[in-house]
Amino acid sequence: MKGATVQQFETAKNKLSTLQNDPGNRVKLQIYALFKQATQGPCTTSSPGMLDFVNRAKWDAWKALGSISQVQVLTQAQMSAGAGDFYCSGNDLNNFVLGDGGVEEKARQGAELLRKYVRAYIGFPKPLVAVVNGPAVGISVTLLGLFDLVYASERATFHTPFSQLGQSPEGCSSYTFPSLMGPAKASEMLLFNKKVTAAQACELRLVTEVFPESSFQTEVWTRLKAYAKLPPNSLALSRQLIRSVEKQRLYDVNDLEVECLRGRWVSDECAAAIMSFFQAKAKL
């Protein structure tokens, strides 16, 4: 596998030299970083000195890939799919039941976990494809704004009941949803808990394409198999170029959302809303 990766790297370098227009140092550094991550894994070497400009630039590009595994680097795209009848039923609200460390510590830990989780999607170097086979709730919906393709079964629904639970948007949805569907439609989902169908989500540009339940898996996998044959370096670099303009903005939005949620989690309002949810559930 390593030998094949070296050969792919050399091929990519040779192709760069044949381009009519120089792609620039950023693209070259991204190829170098992906090669290092694929052959050696995450960067664990010491940082070169600030005056060692060339090696420092290479090190920064490699380090920026974070903990992405060697397997992930070698794949053309990353697919997210649900198992069973649901795509995802959302966050387990039992996580908000007070445990060791108190509410402040639990909120701090949850905030940092969420920050890292969403950052992994923002910084992922390959195309992200969601295969939404059924109902989706909470962060599984908000993260879709960071995906490159979202395929949905006709039986899928999308629900973000944040205000109902005394919480606030996450997954960069406070930015991506208004950008995709406009402020008014985004507010219906993020502020007023509107649940939308797959067809409605497609109209709102949150979903790429909707398929009949009877042919959903066949249609989607036919496409995914075709995508798997595309040149991986071309996919990765093109995806990074498309996303590069918004990348830092998304990191900043994620930080703002996480801090807002951290405050929500320690609020009396959030605690009361979650308690009401459990009480209503117990009556069913």
What secondary structure does DSSP assign to 232-263, as a single string? Answer: HHHHHHHHHHHHHHHHHHHHHHHHHHHHHHHH
Buried b (16+ CB within 10 A) or exposed e, 34-63: bbbbbbeeebeeeeeeeeeeeeebbbebbb
Q: Among 146, 139, 177, 136, which Cα is nearest to 247's?
A: 146
Task: Choose which CATH entry (3.40.50.1950, 1.10.10.10, 1.20.80.10, 3.30.590.10) describes domain 2-73.
Answer: 1.20.80.10
Extract the tokens encoding 229. 């044959």
Homologous superfamily (CATH) of 75-282 is 2-enoyl-CoA Hydratase; Chain A, domain 1 (3.90.226.10)
**Given the structure tokens 């030998």, which residue do they identify?**
3
Report the interhelical angle of 232-265 vs 173-181 (nearest 10°): 120
pLDDT tens-place values along the chain, 284 residues long = 444 445 555 565 565 566 555 656 666 666 667 666 666 677 888 888 777 777 788 788 767 767 665 555 545 567 777 777 889 987 766 666 655 568 888 899 999 999 999 999 999 888 999 999 999 999 999 999 999 999 999 999 999 999 999 999 999 999 999 999 999 999 999 999 999 999 999 999 999 999 999 999 999 999 988 988 888 888 888 998 899 889 999 999 999 999 999 999 999 999 999 888 877 777 76
The amino acid occupying position 243 is R
The answer to whether the pTM exceeds 0.85 is no
Asked if 270 and 91 touch (Cβ cutoff 8 Å), the reply is no
Q: What burial class does residue 18 get, using C-beta atoms within 10 Å of its C-beta: 0-12 exposed, 13-18 middle, 19+ buried?
A: exposed
Q: Among 245, 262, 249, which Cα is nearest to 115's?
A: 262
Find the angle CA(67)-CA(11)-CA(15) to the nearest 5 degrees: 110
Per-domain boundaries in the chain: 2-73, 75-282
Helix (H) or strand (E) holding 119, with range, is helix 102-122
